Structure 1
Amino acid sequence: MSVGTVTTRARVGQYAALLAYVAFLGFPLLWLVATAFKSTQEIALGASGFLPEAPTLQNFGDAIRRADLVEAGWNSLRVAVASTILTTALAMPAAYGLARFKTFLRPVTLGWVLVSQVFPTILIIVPLFLILKQFDLVNNLVGLTIVYVVFTLPFALWMLIGFVANIPRELEEAAAVDGAGRLRILVSIVFPLLRPGVVATALFAFIAAWNEFLFALVLIQDPAKVTLPLTLSRFVGAEGQVQLGALAAASLLATIPSLIFFGLIQGRLTSGLLSGAVKG
């Protein structure tokens, strides 16, 4: 058997495995879309095919009218955007300092990052509630944003440290020899090369805040301030009865902002990767 035949078979196997993986990941989304367009009767029968026999928009209308989906989406969007901006702005200089300067704070900070990721969130929800209550931040979107920033920052910092470490020090040293100050080096050299990491960090922070449920459930009681995950939980009754059509439609609508956000920053991620290339 020739080397070319073996290579071709290996390539076919790789593409087949990749296609199977994509199908595995995409099936829940396809099922969600199909269910969102099915009528209540068709869902109740449960014997119909995968695709809706008579597509309808009734589920979308029910989801928007009954659950105040637009207001909840606006609340989630404000919290997610604010927490994303704050998390990224705080993580960038901190990651640079930890990656470039070897001080006693580095092992302490990295240890804090690791502990924060393995510590069960449910154990601190009551003390967190009591602390925020003293500062009048319970039932407040500002308080919820602060909580998201605090709990997203460790992983965002860990991500950016790796990106900063991959930027060659020689570029900064060459700029310093040419007379550039620290601020000029950061603005003109480091931050442009750090763009892919910043985009990836921003995407992580946005999705984490957009999908978060537990903190919002405990800290928000006002119906006018609930976020989208809390609104989606209303489609599940107290006895476990689920309004499956409306829930599928609402869930599908809830994914749109994340897709739009990813679409907007995807170009910046690609351009950042290209501009960050260093020729040897």
Structure 2
Amino acid sequence: MMKRFLQYVALMGYLIFLGFPLVWMLSTSLKPPPELVKLHPTLVPDAPTLMNYVQAFSEQQLDRAAFNSLKVALGSAVLTVIVALPASYALARFKTRVGTAALGWVLLSQLFPFVLLIIPIFLVLREVGLANTHAGLVLIYVVWALPFALWMLQGFVRNIPRELEEAAAVDGATRLQVLWRVVFPLLAPGVVATALFAFISAWNEFFFALVLIKNPDLATLPVTLARFVGIEGTARLGPLAAGSLLATIPSLLFFAFMQRRLSSGSLAGAVKG
């Protein structure tokens, strides 16, 4: 009994640890300017106001920036899954020296600091006409997410028994039919996890979007939120907290939607027919 009680206490403490930044950001977004500069700030605003949200939308094009981020993040998630799914199957099922070397190189590429690659990436995108475009940004995000996506998905593929594929082949299914009707449905949890990783990485990414996108109308949400910080580093905490809180909502909704698919997919095949 005491062990279970301690587990619940630890879980509650962990939830408070995760949720407190969001609660504090909500509190900050509802405070008027005088309360934001108080020496001892309180969690509950003395005089709640929505002016920070009004200023955030009136001073910056948050709706357009959110749409840009949503378009880039969804495109990155879809393309990452499309590329990683067959590639991870090939890496997991076909044991060759080339495949082993490729997987090792994929993992090794994660050690490269991306700040050192930004100049050659920008030059390459400029040469092919993709600089200052969402398509170029999506391409960069897909390449950025692929190493982890390949490593994660090939682990899911390894857990699928080969006997299922062999049984389908004996029944007359072609290789593509085996992949489409047997393998890919069982990979649903891995696909959902990969899509979540790619979406959230692209949604929150700042550095590449700042360097590669020069047109203000194409700016993503993190870049737009950075405009609430002055040249000398002084942040307008109220509008910044309001915009940041609104920026978390799409990712939370996407995670909640995909999490249901992850839960249902994890039970697929658990009961033998």
The TM-score normalised by the length of structure 1 is 0.94
Q: Which amino acid aligns with 1:254?
A: A
User: 2:59 aligned with 1:66, yes or no?
Assistant: yes
Residue 120 of structure 2 aligns with an amino acid whose one-letter code is: P
What aligned pairs does 1:195-206 form with structure 2 within 5 A after superposition?
Answer: 195-206=188-199
Which residue of 2 is the match for residue 87 of structure 1?
Answer: 80
- Counterpart of 1:150 (choices 112, 125, 143) is 143
Residue 178 of structure 1 and its aligned partner are, at CA, apart by 1.8
Alignment match of 1:220 (pick from 213, 217, 220): 213
Verify: 1:76 aligned to 2:60, yes or no: no
Residues 29-50 of structure 1: CA distance to partner in whole angstroms, max 9, x if unpaired? 1111111111112112243421
Q: Which residue of 2 aligns with 1:258?
A: 251
Cα offset, 1:27, TM superposition? 1.0
Q: Is 1:268 aligned to 2:261, yes or no?
A: yes
On the 8 A contact 1:99/1:161 being kept in 2, the answer is yes
**Matched AA of 1:88:** V
- For residue 205 of structure 1, report the CA deviation from its aligned partner: 0.3
Structure 2 unaligned runs (5+)? none
CA deviation string 1:162-196 (max 9, x = no partner): 11111111111111122222111111111111000
Aligned CA-pair RMSD: 1.4
Q: CA deviation at 1:95?
A: 0.6
Kindly state the Cα deviation for residue 277 of structure 1 after the two structures are TM-superposed.
1.9
Residue 138 of structure 1 is matched in structure 2 by 131
Matches within 5 A, 1:103-122: 103-122=96-115
Q: Is the 8 A contact 2:27 2:44 kept in 1?
A: yes
CA contact (8 A) 1:192 1:276 kept: no
Question: Residue 181 of structure 1 corresponds to which residue in structure 2?
Answer: 174
- Which one of the candidate residues 178, 190, 214 is aligned to 2:183? 190
Where does residue 37 of structure 2 map in the other structure? 44
How much identity, in percent, do the aligned residues show? 59
Matching of residue 33 in structure 1 with residue 26 in structure 2: yes
Aligned length: 273
Q: Does 1:164 align with 2:157?
A: yes
Structure 1 residue 276: deviation in Å? 3.5
Deviates more, 1:71-80 or 1:101-110: 101-110
TM-score normalized with structure 2 length: 0.96
For the residues of structure 2 that align with 1:276 and 1:43, how far apart are their CA atoms?
Answer: 54
Aligned to 2:15: 22
- The 3 A distance-change label for structure 1 pair 11 and 279 is farther
1:135-159 per-residue CA deviation (whole Å, 9 max, x = no partner) reads: 1211111111111111111111111
Q: 2:3 aligns with which of 4, 10, 15?
A: 10
